[in-house]
Chain A
Amino acid sequence: MAEEVNRKPYVRPVTSEWIFRHPRYLRYMVREFSCLFIGGWTLMMVWGLKQLAEGPAAWAAFLEFLKSPTSIAFHLIALGFAAYHSYTWFNLAPKAMPLQIGEDFVPDAAVAGAHFVVWAVLTAAVLYLAGAF
Chain B
Amino acid sequence: MGERQIELEVLRYNPETDSEPRFQRYSVTCREEWVVLDALNHIKETVDPTLTYRWSCHMAVCGSCGMMINGEPKLACKAFVRNYEGVIRVEPLAHFPIERDLVTVIDDFMDKLKRVRPYIIPKQAKAIADGEYLQTPAELKKFKQYTMCINCMLCYAACPEYALIPKYIGPAAITLAHRYNMDSRDGGRDQRQEEIAATEGAWECSFVGACSEVCPEHVDPAGAIQQVKIKSTLDWYTEHLMPWLKK
Contacts and interface: CB of A to CB of B under 8 A. Distances in A.
A8 B227 CA distance: 39
A9 B99 contact: yes
Given A24-B208, A96-B227, A102-B138, A9 B97 contact: yes
B21 interface: yes
Contacts of A94: 223
A84 B225 CA distance: 23
Given A10-B15, A104-B141, 18 more contacts: A6-B16, A10-B13, A10-B98, A11-B98, A18-B163, A19-B160, A24-B208, A25-B210, A28-B210, A32-B206, A92-B222, A94-B223, A95-B209, A95-B212, A95-B220, A96-B227, A96-B230, A105-B141
Interface residues of A, number: 27
A7 interface: yes
Contacts of A9: 15, 97-99, 105
Interface in A1-52: 6-12, 14, 18-19, 21-22, 24-25, 28, 32
A6 B141 CA distance: 47
B71 interface: yes
Contacts of A11: 97-98
Interface of B: 13, 15-16, 18, 20-21, 71-72, 94, 97-99, 105, 137-138, 141-142, 160, 163-164, 206-210, 212-213, 220, 222-223, 226-227, 229-230
A24 B71 contact: no
